[in-house]
Chain A
């Protein structure tokens, strides 16, 4: 497949999401404007009002109902999308587990914003990190372009018959959601062809017949039954199996998309930046990677072998890629824009550190918790992290494993 000619338009993260959803021929969108509201759904409702999409738009009365509607619409065979942020995602919590447990491939944009209290509307990752174990695929974008690309890819990943898992695409609040960028967009028909029409797998019903996995009067199926100690565990195990399969599917979909877009993000799971010969490295997700890359370039100009590993897929966690990219490095700083209060570092740190535990030449690892509630993350702050890594690499000594950076202490 050859690269497709694209148009460059100014979009912010929110409008990039809405535009991608518009092109994906989504059947049902259910959403609610909890605070902090994003303009994703406002923009999409304009498309609905102007007849530019063939989508049932359900303006529900809560985020809980937004996710519920998305689940049952998806279970009826519809391609389904919703968007939320912060408190809204937290209110959905119960239903996130139902979406993955019922194997409904809902796609959701999560504008990453801080959780209350104190109430705050700005960027951090505490909302989606708190949903880590709810069985959703989690992909984090670095910029609005990647947000657009990731939403389109998300439908194809979620609805893959081997996967059938709900998928969230995280974009940093304000930094991406409200910041205008030049975004290359596909012609509508290219996206429509790429995502195709939603298919459903066939599953065995209670009478032992194979029927389409959806609510269909011609093929009655009971979805969401009581499921106790005799089968529940097996069903949960199947979700884990689907996550394993998703590792390959995310890569395949990414590669297929890259051929047409001319854009790729590492291997789709992780993106290594000037990492091959690096001695010290940072690990992060989201828009901060853009700032880190700038700092890495400056350090390289000064002969310092610095690099970056950006985690794009946090669930499923690409353990093999983390190992292959970080083994042999002297010192690594994991950057967390969320805090696991009372834990040993932030959620990313736990994941990265345990992933490299079995590597014989594992690096020294430290954790920086940064940017909570939208606190700015300027280049000089990243630079100070690399300075610290240089020191650790030289001495082999770590003063503080977990540190907070960029705040009054």
Chain B
């Protein structure tokens, strides 16, 4: 089985890498996805073309005649960023073969939010992966349609308030579980799938680089809080993101050619289960879960904890740890 290269970098080298996603864009204070994009672009190894689905990052990074992108970038629609990447990659390959462009490899990176991935974009994503296009797909997951005003997606976690899963008198937030999108991508038997988190930036950058290095499709699920939609403090974005790993709400792992492996930040918890924090410590930081702390909703909290535990055990089994 082919193994991926072990790319390492120092903080100094990282700081000296020119920005490809420039500052001055119009993302909100404390925006998690903007951090994810900047980190992924820092992982570039050479010429690169990016494409975005419709969503927060498309909107905040471009408004004609301005752009935050110092690389070629294209947006076409919401549900099709993986097809965008397919077309670019196919064109690059054939034009290079025909000698119409420079004879060098160009990485293709696709960015989409949870709505553009879990929901409306899953068909194009699944198709592009099956066809084996050589590209990195980065899902920046802020767990709802934030650009359009905080509507629930199938990436929204159980119990969360959104404008289309309100915390009502009868239904306390979103009743359904979050779709296990990264596992679905692993089931495609693609070369590389990883979860990452903006709080563990070095891990995220290395995984993004691996995704680019892979010959074929790679999927990076980047957890990225949204203070506007999560009703959280803007200065706590990174702290909240870190808690998602420490509570095992969002464990960090990678799967090379279908083989699951826990990343160090989650492996620590696997080896020392007493380090695993209760899910409430994470939920308390966000007012989208506020209603769950009412006595009548205690059962939802319990269900969330048991769901987190169940998925964690399942992951440990997949990683052959449990």
Give chain A's interface residues, CB within 8 Å of chain B: 27-28, 30, 54-56, 58-62, 64-65, 68-78, 80, 94-95, 98, 102, 197, 206, 214-228, 230-231, 235
| Docked complex: B257-283 residues within 8 A CB-CB of A | none
CB of B69 within 8 A of CB of A222, answer yes
What residues of A have a CB within 8 angstroms of the CB of B70 in the complex? Answer: 220
The CA of A221 and the CA of B51, in the complex, are separated in Å by 12
CB of B59 within 8 A of CB of A226, answer yes
Knowing A27-B98, A60-B83 touch, does A73 contact B131 (C-beta < 8 A)?
no
7 closest cross-chain pairs (CB), A and B: A61-B127, A72-B87, A225-B62, A217-B47, A69-B87, A76-B91, A68-B83
What residues of A have a CB within 8 angstroms of the CB of B127 in the complex? Answer: 60-62, 65
Knowing A75-B74, A102-B76 touch, does A226 contact B62 (C-beta < 8 A)?
yes
Contact of A70 among B87, B95, B106 (CB under 8 A): B87
Q: Say yes or no for B300: interface residue by CB 8 A criterion.
A: no
**Closest A residue to B133 using CB positions:** A58
Residue from B58, B66, B87 having most chain A Cβ neighbours under 10 A: B87
CB of B100 within 8 A of CB of A197, answer yes
CB of A76 within 8 A of CB of B95, answer yes
The CA of A98 and the CA of B78, in the complex, are separated in Å by 11
Residue from A30, A75, A216, A221 having most chain B Cβ neighbours under 10 A: A75
The CA of A323 and the CA of B126, in the complex, are separated in Å by 51
What residues of B have a CB within 8 angstroms of the CB of A64 in the complex? Answer: 79-80, 83, 124
What residues of B have a CB within 8 angstroms of the CB of A218 in the complex? Answer: 47, 102
The CA of A215 and the CA of B87, in the complex, are separated in Å by 12
Knowing A72-B87, A216-B72 touch, does A62 contact B123 (C-beta < 8 A)?
yes
Contact of B73 among A58, A80, A197, A223 (CB under 8 A): A223
Majority secondary structure, A binding face: loop
CB of B77 within 8 A of CB of A225, answer no
Knowing A73-B87, A76-B95 touch, does A217 contact B76 (C-beta < 8 A)?
no
Contact of A72 among B71, B84, B94, B106 (CB under 8 A): B84
| Docked complex: B74-113 residues within 8 A CB-CB of A | 74-77, 79-80, 83-88, 90-95, 97-98, 100-102, 106
Q: Say yes or no for B63: interface residue by CB 8 A criterion.
A: yes
What residues of B have a CB within 8 angstroms of the CB of A197 in the complex? Answer: 100
CB of B91 within 8 A of CB of A73, answer yes
What residues of A have a CB within 8 angstroms of the CB of B101 in the complex? Answer: 77, 216
CB of A221 within 8 A of CB of B72, answer yes
Smallest CB separation, A106 vs chain B (Å): 10
What residues of B have a CB within 8 angstroms of the CB of A56 in the complex? Answer: 90-91, 93-94
Contact of B95 among A71, A77, A219 (CB under 8 A): A77
Q: List 21 A-B contacts (CB under 8 A).
A: A27-B91, A27-B95, A60-B83, A60-B127, A62-B127, A70-B87, A71-B76, A72-B88, A76-B91, A77-B101, A78-B90, A94-B77, A95-B80, A98-B76, A215-B72, A216-B101, A217-B47, A218-B47, A221-B72, A226-B63, A227-B64
CB of B63 within 8 A of CB of A95, answer no
CB of A77 within 8 A of CB of B62, answer no
Inter-chain pairs besides A58-B86, A71-B76, 14 sampled, C-beta below 8 Å: A28-B91, A30-B90, A60-B131, A65-B80, A69-B84, A72-B85, A73-B91, A94-B77, A95-B77, A102-B74, A215-B74, A221-B72, A225-B63, A227-B64
Q: Say yes or no for B65: interface residue by CB 8 A criterion.
A: yes
CB of B87 within 8 A of CB of A58, answer yes
Contact of B94 among A28, A59, A225 (CB under 8 A): A28
The CA of A55 and the CA of B70, in the complex, are separated in Å by 30
CB of A61 within 8 A of CB of B130, answer yes
Contact of B64 among A28, A54, A231 (CB under 8 A): A231
CB of B75 within 8 A of CB of A223, answer yes
Residue from B64, B98, B128, B131 having most chain A Cβ neighbours under 10 A: B64
What residues of B have a CB within 8 angstroms of the CB of A225 in the complex? Answer: 62-64, 66-67, 75
What residues of B have a CB within 8 angstroms of the CB of A224 in the complex? Answer: 74-76
**Closest B residue to A61 using CB positions:** B127
Residue from A59, A224, A230 having most chain B Cβ neighbours under 10 A: A224
What residues of A have a CB within 8 angstroms of the CB of B88 in the complex? Answer: 72-73, 75-76, 215
CB of B91 within 8 A of CB of A72, answer yes
Contact with A along B197-211 (1 / 0, CB 8 A): 000000000000000
CB of A222 within 8 A of CB of B67, answer yes
Smallest CB separation, A251 vs chain B (Å): 30
What residues of B have a CB within 8 angstroms of the CB of A69 in the complex? Answer: 83-84, 86-87, 90
Q: Say yes or no for B49: interface residue by CB 8 A criterion.
A: yes
